[in-house]
Amino acid sequence: MAVGIALSSDPTMTRQVLPLLADQLRSALSSLPAEVLGEVEEIRVRLGRPLHVVTTAGEVFLPDAVVSASLFRATLELVTGSSLYALEEELRNGYITLPGGHRVGLAGRAVLDDGRVRTLKHLSGLNIRVSREFPGAAAGIIEAIWPRGAARPYSTLIVSPPRGGKTTVLRDLARRLSHGEPGRPGLKVVIVDERSEIAGCFEGVPQKDVGPRTDVLDACPKAAGMMMALRSLGPEVLVADEVGRPEDAVAVNEALNAGVTVISSVHGSSLEEIARRPAVRDIVAGGAFGRYVFLTRCPSPGTVAAVLDATGRLLPGWTPSPDWTPSPEAAS
């Protein structure tokens, strides 16, 4: 019953991502086969080193595309619209969100002010993370999370290793719950998008389809955003990526006590692993989540390895993927 994200060539690269690169780098990347371009996840532009491309299948270095100072400067101007130092808040956070929801991570020398990062200077690296939509990414788990006829969805924690498809699945769940479908009415959804990755907002406007009944608090800390949403936006479902701080646990419990479904994610590969983190342990031990969905990158990101119920047992009728190692509770 393993379900993954279907990957294919799409116009995202040619229309939105390739124009961010200096001509020579763009030409080098364009020379890759179309099927490789369709699976690009990251483009790493490092001063003085070859262009580095990360795909779902692995990584590629382009030795004929060494990033000179002039190529790096030209790419930086394209990424920032020639207005790097007008992006003070983005520099402080270490990334820039672009039209289409793509995010560019920045590497360089941090400038501190009273122990906090004020800005970055002497930039030497860019990580262009390609954002793609995969409608249907959550199709394999929607019945487990919201059985037809149930009054509302289960609060759910999506668990996977890095680059395992958590954000993509969260986005598709928000979209499906917001749109509604036969047997499942559309719900009011609020996304607290601390890192601008779920909705991919640009100047406050979602670049991804997150549904007609969805509001987004962009670049807002999770705990503060969840409390703001409860006070003023009247959500039926709260969606937030990567809980893990003590204040996140408090906000999740506040939402649950208010009768709101919470759907979130966390890095990890087993219930025992995530429960070793104090803040997450408090959420798990309190029975906050009725479902735990474990994702894997095999054979592709977003593949569902297993679904557990609130007690940590494998959901009846669910066949886990062969590479998933269940916890003792799940196996019992």
How do residues 95-128 score in pLDDT, each as one tens digit? Answer: 888 888 898 999 999 888 888 888 888 999 999 9
Contact 265, 158 (CB under 8 A): yes
Question: Residue 171 has what pLDDT?
Answer: 95
Q: How high is the pLDDT of residue 331?
A: 44
- In Å, how far are 135, 158, 199, 206, 240 from 266, measured between CA atoms? 21, 6, 18, 23, 10
pLDDT at 112: 87
Name the DSSP letter for residue 249.
H
Phi–psi pair at 168, nearest 5 degrees = -65, -45
Estimate the crossing angle of helix 69-80 against helix 23-30, to 10 degrees: 90
Q: Which residues of 310-331 are buried (b: 16+ CB within 10 A; e: fewer)?
A: eebebbeeeebbeebebbeebe
pLDDT at 23: 96
Distance CA 113, CA 125 (A): 22
Q: What is the pLDDT of residue 172?
A: 95
- Quick one: pLDDT at residue 325? 66
**Cα 145 from Cα 55, distance rounded (Å):** 30
DSSP H helical segments within the chain, as ranges? 12, 23-30, 34-37, 69-80, 88-93, 142-145, 166-179, 222-232, 246-257, 271-275, 278-285, 328-331
Model pLDDT, residue 7: 41
CA 104 to chain CA mean position, Å: 14
Question: Residue 86: what pLDDT?
Answer: 65
CA distance 294 to 329: 15
Q: What residue ranges define each of the domains in the chain, with the CATH number in brackets?
A: 12-129 (3.30.450), 142-331 (3.40.50.300)
Under-70 pLDDT residues of the chain = 1-10, 85-86, 323, 325-332
Structure tokens at 64: 């004929």
Alpha carbon distance 22, 176 (integer Å): 38
